[in-house]
């Protein structure tokens, strides 16, 4: 569910901030974007399934990996690289498709917006992580809806 929420926030942020030309360009871009979202979500679901099958915790990373068996550690990295490759291919396909309908400046604008969204979303996750640890993190910016992310 967290994955779907972030995807919805990202889409809304892009819709609110990315200006496209005509209806044809708009349709082509959002069709490509929808395919990317679908591929990313499928990769996320596959990753969760593979982790479960390998007996891995859902949030295995960092120091938590030290508690895993050797087989689980290898499974973790195999899954990680397989999913990374799957996401890369989806991202490459998306890029190839938007190159057909957007100008280079628009492509750059899209990726800058995406970067800004990711940076803000990561800040929110870091804030939540620190808060859970009992650390006062009131100065870390948070975003709960797309309008919280400054242009």
Question: For 24-63, b where at least 16 C-beta lie within 10 A, e where not — what string?
Answer: eeeebbeebbeebbebbeebbeebeebbeebebeeebeee
Which range has the worst mean pLDDT, 32-36, 97-101, 105-109, 114-118?
114-118
pLDDT tier for residue 131 given thresholds of 50, 70 and 90: low
- Give the integer Cα–Cα distance in Å for 109 and 106: 5
Return d(Cα 113, Cα 130) in angstroms, integer: 26
* Mean pLDDT, residues 32-42 taken together: 95
**What sections of 54-103 are H helices per DSSP?**
70-98
**Per-residue pLDDT, 63:** 64
Note the pTM of the prediction, 2 decimals.
0.75
pLDDT above 50 (res 124): yes
Measured CA to CA in angstroms, residue 104 lies from 36, 37, 93, 110 at distances of 19, 22, 16, 10
């Amino acid at each position: 569910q967290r994955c779907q929420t972030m995807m919805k926030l990202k889409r809304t942020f892009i819709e609110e901030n990315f200006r496209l030309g005509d209806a044809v360009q708009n349709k082509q871009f959002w069709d490509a974007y929808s395919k990317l979202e679908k591929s990313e979500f499928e990769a996320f679901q596959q990753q969760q399934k593979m982790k479960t099958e390998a007996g891995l915790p859902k949030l295995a990373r960092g120091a938590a990996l030290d508690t895993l068996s050797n087989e689980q550690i290898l499974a973790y990295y195999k899954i990680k690289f397989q999913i990374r490759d799957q996401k890369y291919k989806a991202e490459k396909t998306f890029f190839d498709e938007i190159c057909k309908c957007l100008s280079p400046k628009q492509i750059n604008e899209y990726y800058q917006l995406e970067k800004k969204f990711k940076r803000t979303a990561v800040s929110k996750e870091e804030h939540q992580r620190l808060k859970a640890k009992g650390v006062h993190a009131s100065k870390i910016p948070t975003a709960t809806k797309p309008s919280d992310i400054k242009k």
